[in-house]
Structure 1
Amino acid sequence: MTTWEQIAAAKRAQTLSQIPKGWVEPNLIQNMNKDGYVSACGYLDTVLPEHEVSITNLTATELAGKIASREMTSYDVCYAFCHRAALAHQILNCCIEIFFEQALEKARELDSYFAATGKLLGPLHGVPFSLKDQVNLIGLETTIGYISRVGQKSDKMSLLAKVLQDQGAVFFLKTTVPTAMLASETVSSLHGRTLNAINIAFSSGGSSGGEGSLIGAKASPLGVGTDIGGSIRIPAAFQGLYGLRPSHGRIPYMDVTNSYEGQELIPSVIGPLSSSLKDLELFTKLVVDSETWNYDPQVVPVPWRDSSEVTKRKLRIGLMTWDGLVMPHPPVLRALRETCHALTSRGHEIVKWSFPDNEKLVDVGEKVYGADFYAEVEQILEKTGEPISDYMNIARNVSRGKGHSGNALDVNQWWEVSQEIRHLKQKFLKYWKNTENVTSDGKPIDAILCPVWPSAGFHDGKVDFGCENYTVPFNVLDYSCVVFPVTQVNVEIDSVESGHLPSLPDDQKMHGYYEAQDFDKIPVCLQVVCKRLEEEKVLAIASVIESCLAATT
C-alpha cells in the first residue's frame, strides 16, 4: 500500500521533473549560501544572464508596453521568467504545478498572431502570469495542499483564468499553498516549506505564500492569490510587494477550488500581487471591464469607476497605530510615522483611529474559521493518513482557550455569529462616519492606514507567532485593502522602544520576539483600507501615498 509520504515524495519529484534538465542546479542553495546571500532575489540576479535579468526586473505594465512596441517578443519574455522561476523553485520551493513548455508554445502563438494581424490579444498580451494553486486549469491538478488530491486533474478552467487568458496572459505555473489554505505560513505534508524570497530564514507568509515568494524573487511579474484572513496581504507584506484584497463580488471566484466552499459569512476573495501598484490597477480594471457579472452570479454589476479626483485633493486618513491588543514592532511603527509625515507634509490630514471593538472583530473571525473545528480538514487528511499541521493544532488549542467546546457550531450558534458580524459592521460604519467630528473640514475619513502584521515577518517554522489581528477584521467587514512597501528594517535605528508595557499574552510574546539584528533589511509594508467595494478608491489613495513617500526620500 502506498503511504502518504511516498505520494508526497512522488509529487515533489514530478514537479521538479517539469523543469528542463539544463535548468536543474543540484548545488544551487549551497552555492547561494557559500556566496553569502540570504536573498534568493538578489542571488538570482547574479547567476542569470544579464539580458534575462533586465527582462525580469520589469513590471507587468512595462512588459506589456515593450511587447506592444515590438521591443520584446512574448517568447523571450516568457523564456526569461520560466528560467528564473525554475531556479527560484529550487531555492524557495514555491511551485506545485510547472508547465513551461505549454507556456512557451503559447508565447510563440501570440508572437505569430501579433506578426500576422498587427493586433494584440489584450492588455496582458504575452505577459507571464502565475496562479495560486486554487485556480483551476484544464488538465492540471488542484491539490490545495492535500496529498489525497494528487492525481485528480481539473476538467474546467476558473472564470478568472479564462478572462486573463483571453486578454493575452501566459500562464506558466501554479504556486504552493499550506494545507487547506488555513495558515499564515506556507507549509504542507505535500510539498514541504516555502521560503521567503528576501531572506530564506523567514516565512513566506500564507496562504498565498507561493505567489508571494515567486513574485518576491522576480520570477513572475504578476499573479493572483486569495484572502480570507490576510492570505494576499501577509505574503505581500513579508516580501515587500503590493497586494490588493478586494471586496467579495468584485473579482470572480467562480470555479476556484476552496476549503469550506459553502461558508459565505466571511467569503474568500481573489486578487493580485505584484511588485508594482500600476500592475494591480491594470489587473483590476481589466477584470472589472470584462463584466464577469454576466457569468458569475456572485459578482456585483459595478463597472470601473474613475477615482482620479481622489488624487487631486486633500485626503483625510485615519491612523491606527495599534489595535489595543498587539503592539507592532519598532520598524512598523517607524513606517507609520514616516508615511504620516510624507502625507502631512503635502497637505493631507491624519486623525487618530481607534475602533473600540477590534478584539470582537478578531474573535468573531476565529469563530467562523473554526466553525466545524477543522472536521472537514481532518476528514480529507484521513484519506491518506497525513498528519494535521502544527499551525492548525495551535489554532484549535487557542480556540479551546477562548471557550470553544471543541465541537462544530450548531445552526443556532451560526445564526448568532451572523448576527454578531452584522452588528459589528453597523457599528464600524457608524464609527467611520463619526470621524467627521474630528476632521478639520467636517467630512469623514477617506481611508484607514494601519499595519499588516505586528512585525516585519517571522522566522520560518515559528508557527506560534501567527497574529492576524490587523488583517482578519477587514475580512469580517469585507473592506477593500491595498498593501504597499514603505521601508526595510534598519538595525541602526530600529532599536526596541521603551514606554509600551505589554500586558496581554500575545502582546508579550510579540514584544519579546523582536531583536533588531534578526530582522535587518526585512521589508516593512503597511496597508490602506477603504470601505466595501471601493477598489478604485483604495488603489488611487495608495498611489497618492506612494508618490508622497517617493517625494520624501
Structure 2
Amino acid sequence: MQHWTTIVAEKRARTLSRIPNEWMHPNIIQDMAEKNVKNACKYLDGILPVDEVNITSLDATALVENIASKKLTSYQICYAFCHRAALAHQILNCCIEIFFEEALERAKQLDAYYASTGKLKGPLHGVPFSLKDQVNLPNIETTIGYVSKVGQKADKMSLLAKLLHEQGAIFFVKTAVPTAMLASETVSTLHGRTLNAVNTSFSSGGSSGGEGSLIAAKGSPLGVGTDIGGSIRIPAAFQGLYGLRPSHGRVPYMDVTNSYEGQELISSVIGPMSSSLRDLELFTKLVVDCESWRYDPDVVPIPWRNFDGQQTQKLRFGIMTWDGMVLPHPPILRALEETRKVLIHHGHEVVEWNFPHSEELIDVAEQVYGADFFNEVEEILNESEEPVSDYMQLARNNILAKGGLGKPLSVRQWWEVSLKIRKLKQQYLEHWRDTANQTSDGKPIDSIICPVWPSAGFHDREVEHGCENYTMPFNLLDYSCVVLPITEVDEMKDKPNQAHLAKNASDKKMQDFYDAKKFGKMPVCLQIVCKRLEEEKCLAIASIVESCLSTMP
C-alpha cells in the first residue's frame, strides 16, 4: 500500500493538473505579498481582464438576467468564473475537485439550447455553481478530507445536484472540507489548509470553508455548504457572505456523503452561500418548487410561501447580545447595537432575548457530536495511517474536561440525550411564546438577532479560539438561520471592553484574544433566526433588516 504522504502529494498534483497551463501562476502568493495585499478578491480584481472582473462581480440572479437578455453567453460567464476560480485556488487552496473542461462544454450546450429554442433551461441557466465536496457527482471523487477515500468515485449524482443541473446550473468545482467535516476551520492532511479570501492571514472557517473562500474571492457566484454545528454560517460570517441554514427537510440531502450517517438527533442540513441575499432566495425557492419530497422521504412537503407582505408590517425582534457564557468582541456588540437602533428607528420593536438554559444547549449538543468519542473518524484515518487531526484532539480533550469517560455513549445514555433535547426544544419554544409578555402588542417575537461567532474570525492555526456557542444551539433546535453582513471591524470604534469581568475560563480566553488592530477591517455578520421550517420568513426578515441598515449614515 502507498504511504499516505505519497497519496496526498499525488492527489494535490492531480487537482492542480486540471487547471489549464495558461491559468497557472506559480508566483501568485509571492506577488500578493510583494504588493502587500491580503484580500484575495481585491488582488484578483487587479490582475484579471476587466471584462472578466465585470462578469464575476455579478451575482447569480444578475447573471441569469444577462443571459436571458443576451448581453452575455453562458460560455463567457463560465470561462470568467473558471479562470478566477483557478487563480483563487492557487491563493486560498479552496478546491478539491476541478473540472473546468466539462463545465465549459456544458456552457456551450446551454448556449446552443437557448439559441435553438429561445428558452432557458431554468432559473439557473448558465450559472456556474460550486459544490461542497460532500455533494456527489458521477465519476468524481468524494473524499470529505480523508486520504483513505482517494480514488473512490461516486456512482450517482446527489438528488440536489440533479435538481440544480436540470434547472441549468453548471458545476465546475467541488470545494475543500476539513477531515470528516468536523471542524470550524478547513484543514485536512489530504488538501492542506484553506485560507480566508478577505484576509489570507485568517482562517476560512469551516467546515464549508472551501466554499466560503471561493465565493468570497468571487470565484463562484453561488454554491452550497452543509451545516451540523455552524458549517455554513461560520465561513459565511468569517468572509462577509450570506448563508442560509435551513431546517432539516427543506432541502434534499439524499445521496449526499456525510460523516456519522444515521445520526439524526442533530441532522446535517444543506443550504446556499452567496454574495447576495436574493441569491439565497433564488436557490431556496427553486429547490422547494422542484417538490423533491416526491423523491426524498425526508423532505417535508411544504410548498413555497410568500412573505412579501411583511415588508410593510411592524416586526418584533429578540436581540441576544450574548449567551451568558462567552461575551462577543466589541465589533460584534456594536453591530448588534447599531442593528437594534436602526430597527427601532424604522418602527419595529426590539426586546431582549435571554434563554436561561443556554449552557445546557451547548453541553447536550456536544454530547451528540462526540457520542462515539470520534472513534469513526479515527478508524477511517487508520485505514491510511494518516495522523489524527489537531481539531479532533481538541474535541476529545473538551469531552474529557467536561467529565466524559473517553468512550462512546451507551444506548441508555443516547436515549437520555434524546430526552434532554426534546425537553430543551419545548423550553425554547415556550420561552419564545412568552416574549408576548414583553412586546407592546402582546404578540411573540418574529425573529431573534444574535451573533454568529463571538469574534470576527481567527487567524489561520488559531482554531483553539473556536467557539460555536452561537451556532450549535440552532442546529439542536433545528431553526432556520440567515447570515447577514452588517459592518466591519473599526479600530477606532471597537476598543477593548475593559469593564467586562470574565465569567469563566472560555470567556476570559475570548476576551484576551481581542486585538482591534489584528481584526481591523474584517467583516462582521449577525444571524437572523426564525423557528423551524420558516425559511421563507427568515429570508424575508433578513431582507427587511438589510433594507433598514442601508439607511444608516
Q: CA deviation at 1:308?
A: 1.2
1:329-344 paired onto structure 2 within 5 Å: 329-344=329-344
* Equivalent position of 2:227 in the other structure: 227
- The answer as to 2:476 corresponding to 1:476 is yes
* Equivalent position of 1:140 in the other structure: 140
Aligned equivalents of 2:13, 2:399: Cα separation in 1: 37
Deviations 1:367-401 (A, max 9, x none): 00000001100110001100111011011001101
* Equivalent position of 1:309 in the other structure: 309
SS in 1 for 2:267: coil
* Equivalent position of 1:449 in the other structure: 449
Aligned equivalents of 2:2, 2:532: Cα separation in 1: 48
* Equivalent position of 2:437 in the other structure: 437
- The answer as to 2:328 corresponding to 1:362 is no
Aligned equivalents of 1:248, 1:362: Cα separation in 2: 19
- What residue ranges of structure 2 are gaps of 5+ in the alignment? none
SS in 2 for 1:163: helix
Aligned equivalents of 1:37, 1:5: Cα separation in 2: 32
Deviations 1:183-202 (A, max 9, x none): 00000000000000000000
Q: CA deviation at 1:498?
A: 2.7
Q: CA deviation at 1:466?
A: 1.1
**Two-structure CA RMSD over aligned residues (Å):** 0.5
* Equivalent position of 2:29 in the other structure: 29
Given residue 152 of structure 2, which amino acid in structure 1 is its aligned partner? Q
1:181-200 paired onto structure 2 within 5 Å: 181-200=181-200
Given residue 446 of structure 1, which amino acid in structure 2 is its aligned partner? D
SS in 2 for 1:518: coil
1:43-122 paired onto structure 2 within 5 Å: 43-122=43-122
- The answer as to 2:162 corresponding to 1:171 is no
Aligned equivalents of 1:311, 1:9: Cα separation in 2: 53
* Equivalent position of 2:321 in the other structure: 321
Deviations 1:318-346 (A, max 9, x none): 00000000000000001101111111110
- What residue ranges of structure 1 are gaps of 5+ in the alignment? none
SS in 1 for 2:171: strand
Given residue 241 of structure 1, which amino acid in structure 2 is its aligned partner? L
Deviations 1:390-445 (A, max 9, x none): 01101100110101101101110000000000000000000000000000100000
Q: CA deviation at 1:500?
A: 1.1
1:138-287 paired onto structure 2 within 5 Å: 138-287=138-287
* Equivalent position of 1:539 in the other structure: 539
Q: CA deviation at 1:499?
A: 2.1
SS in 2 for 1:282: helix
Given residue 345 of structure 1, which amino acid in structure 2 is its aligned partner? H
SS in 2 for 1:355: coil
Aligned equivalents of 2:448, 2:154: Cα separation in 1: 40
SS in 2 for 1:458: coil
Aligned equivalents of 1:223, 1:85: Cα separation in 2: 13
- The answer as to 2:514 corresponding to 1:514 is yes
Give yes or no for contact 1:390–1:463 (8 Å, CA) kept in 2. no
Aligned equivalents of 1:513, 1:410: Cα separation in 2: 37
Aligned equivalents of 1:54, 1:228: Cα separation in 2: 35
SS in 2 for 1:552: coil
* Equivalent position of 1:406 in the other structure: 406
Aligned equivalents of 1:459, 1:383: Cα separation in 2: 31
SS in 2 for 1:190: coil
Q: CA deviation at 1:57?
A: 0.3
Aligned equivalents of 1:133, 1:466: Cα separation in 2: 23
Aligned equivalents of 2:10, 2:200: Cα separation in 1: 25
Aligned equivalents of 2:374, 2:352: Cα separation in 1: 38
Q: CA deviation at 1:310?
A: 1.7
Give yes or no for contact 1:98–1:174 (8 Å, CA) kept in 2. yes
SS in 2 for 1:173: strand
Aligned equivalents of 2:482, 2:77: Cα separation in 1: 27
Aligned equivalents of 2:136, 2:517: Cα separation in 1: 42
* Equivalent position of 1:11 in the other structure: 11
Aligned equivalents of 2:71, 2:344: Cα separation in 1: 41
Aligned equivalents of 2:71, 2:22: Cα separation in 1: 27
Give yes or no for contact 1:103–1:172 (8 Å, CA) kept in 2. yes
Deviations 1:269-290 (A, max 9, x none): 0000000000000000000000
Given residue 232 of structure 1, which amino acid in structure 2 is its aligned partner? I
Mean CA deviation greater in 26-35 or 303-312: 303-312
Aligned equivalents of 2:542, 2:62: Cα separation in 1: 19
Aligned equivalents of 2:214, 2:482: Cα separation in 1: 19
Percentage of identical aligned residues: 68
* Equivalent position of 1:499 in the other structure: 499
SS in 2 for 1:449: strand
* Equivalent position of 2:375 in the other structure: 375
* Equivalent position of 1:396 in the other structure: 396
Aligned equivalents of 2:222, 2:151: Cα separation in 1: 27
SS in 2 for 1:172: strand
Q: CA deviation at 1:503?
A: 2.5
Give yes or no for contact 1:41–1:216 (8 Å, CA) kept in 2. yes
* TM-score normalised to structure 1 length: 1.00
Aligned equivalents of 1:293, 1:216: Cα separation in 2: 32
Give yes or no for contact 1:247–1:478 (8 Å, CA) kept in 2. yes
Aligned equivalents of 2:362, 2:41: Cα separation in 1: 34
Aligned equivalents of 2:87, 2:459: Cα separation in 1: 22
Count of aligned pairs? 553
